Amino acid sequence: MLKQNFVNELQAKIGSKNKKECAEFLDAFQNVVYEALSRGEEVKLTGFGTFKVRKIAAHEGVNPQSGEKIKIAETVTPAFKPGNAFKDAVKA
């Protein structure tokens, strides 16, 4: 589903007549999540899930083309763990 389709469905669900307001809400939601994660915080939405930052330790890998071992630096990446209600809704 593309962002515009999501905004259209959000607009229909809440009965809003203003599509721009729904798009602004979605943008604001994304920004709140981005900012919280950049500060190292988790965003927990009960029933929906948890957004967090996962640290991946430095480790050795293998270059698939040459087969030689390479060092991969430590990095952080965003992660999402779905809540039970989310999992149940997807299963149905």
Q: Angle at Cα 83 formed by Cα 54 and Cα 27, nearest 5°?
A: 70
Query: If we measure between CA atoms, which residue out of 76, 72, 73 comes closest to residue 61?
Result: 72
| Same domain membership, residue 37 and residue 1 | yes
Q: How confident is the model at residue 80 (pLDDT cuts 50, 70, 90)?
A: very high
Under 8 Å between Cβ of 17 and 37: no
Per residue in 30-39, pLDDT (tens digit) is 999 999 999 9
Where residue 72 sits, what CATH number does that domain have? Answer: 4.10.520.10
| Same domain membership, residue 66 and residue 33 | no
Look up the pTM and report it.
0.78
Q: How confident is the model at residue 2 (pLDDT cuts 50, 70, 90)?
A: very high
| Same domain membership, residue 47 and residue 37 | no
Per residue in 25-75, pLDDT (tens digit) is 999 999 999 999 999 999 999 999 999 999 999 999 999 999 999 999 999
| Same domain membership, residue 59 and residue 25 | no
| Same domain membership, residue 62 and residue 30 | no
| Same domain membership, residue 47 and residue 89 | yes
